[in-house]
């Protein structure tokens, strides 16, 4: 900012007749502009940093609902499927509801979701198409921490899954079970709207199943 003494100095220099005084005044003016610009940049960076990384105070506790889309990967550990192993990915999606309790710095809650893992398929050495259609119902306990708009969270729980196996579009049977599940993610909070990216792993016996997704939720 230009104080009163500097304003008077500029006026006095501009009103003087020698051209050298005018040049000096222009130099002082440019120097003040540069100082103001640097100060504005510093303030802007500090403001953005404070919004992103300052620990958040109490937010509203309550219910939320949302959905995510992503990619699911499925492989079998020591079990042959068809005429060989199995390892493939497919598009996946989920819808979820939850309740969150906000406290200073941290929050905790519960979350339930319906997940469609898609229909991963693999072609064996004998050109046979092996396919698995899988869905699941999951329940998690969650723990998170926010720094301004940015936050992280982890969760652990259980998944009830159902799968149908087919070979060349001919059903080989179905299977189901309950296993542990866990995940972690990052989130950006914009008032009652939250954007999240997360990774989940479902610890199914004899299989590796995981899902990476991005989604949006609304708190109310």
Residue 78 banded pLDDT, cuts 50, 70, 90: low
- Quick check: 65 pLDDT over 50? yes
pLDDT of residue 4: 57
Q: Report the chain's mean pLDDT, rounded to a whole number.
A: 80
The residue among 131, 116, 97, 82 whose CA lies nearest residue 213 is 116
What 8-state DSSP symbol labels residue 82? T
**Percentage of residues in the chain with pLDDT exceeding 90?**
46
Three-state DSSP at 126 gives coil
- Residue ranges per structural domain of the chain: 4-53, 62-219
Q: Write the pLDDT tens digit of every residue in 107-162.
A: 999 999 999 999 888 776 566 778 889 999 999 999 999 988 899 999 999 999 99
Distance CA 44, CA 188 (A): 20
By the 8 A CB rule, do 199 and 184 touch?
yes
What 8-state DSSP symbol labels residue 120? -
Distance CA 106, CA 154 (A): 12
pLDDT of residue 100: 94
pLDDT of residue 22: 52
Distance CA 122, CA 156 (A): 30
The class of domain 62-219 in CATH terms is: mainly beta
Residue 17 banded pLDDT, cuts 50, 70, 90: very low
Residue 52 banded pLDDT, cuts 50, 70, 90: very low
Q: Considering the entire predicted model, what is its pTM?
A: 0.69
Residue 85 banded pLDDT, cuts 50, 70, 90: low
Distance CA 167, CA 163 (A): 13
- Quick check: 84 pLDDT over 70? no
- Quick check: 51 pLDDT over 50? no
8 or 134, higher pLDDT: 134
By the 8 A CB rule, do 154 and 186 touch?
no
pLDDT of residue 5: 59
23 or 174, higher pLDDT: 174
């Amino acid at each position: 900012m230009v104080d009163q003494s500097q304003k008077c100095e500029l006026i006095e220099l501009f009103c003087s007749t020698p051209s050298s005084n005018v040049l000096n005044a222009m130099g002082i003016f440019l120097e003040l502009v540069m100082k103001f610009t640097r100060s504005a940049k510093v303030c802007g960076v500090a403001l953005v940093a404070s919004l992103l990384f300052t620990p958040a105070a109490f937010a509203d506790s309550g219910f939320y609902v949302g959905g995510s889309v992503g990619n699911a990967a499925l492989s079998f550990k020591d079990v042959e499927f068809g005429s060989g192993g199995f390892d493939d990915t497919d598009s996946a999606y989920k819808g979820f509801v939850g309740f969150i309790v906000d406290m200073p710095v941290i929050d905790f809650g519960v979350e339930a979701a319906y997940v469609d893992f898609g229909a991963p398929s693999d072609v064996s050495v004998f050109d046979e198409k092996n396919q698995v259609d899988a869905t699941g119902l999951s329940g998690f306990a969650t723990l998170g921490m926010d720094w301004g708009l940015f936050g992280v969270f982890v969760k652990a729980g259980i998944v009830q899954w159902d799968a149908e196996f087919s070979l060349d579009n001919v059903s080989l049977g179905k299977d189901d079970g309950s296993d542990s599940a866990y995940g972690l993610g990052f989130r950006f909070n914009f008032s009652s709207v939250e954007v999240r990216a997360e990774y989940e792993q479902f610890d199914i016996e004899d299989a590796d199943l995981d899902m990476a997704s991005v989604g949006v939720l609304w708190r109310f």
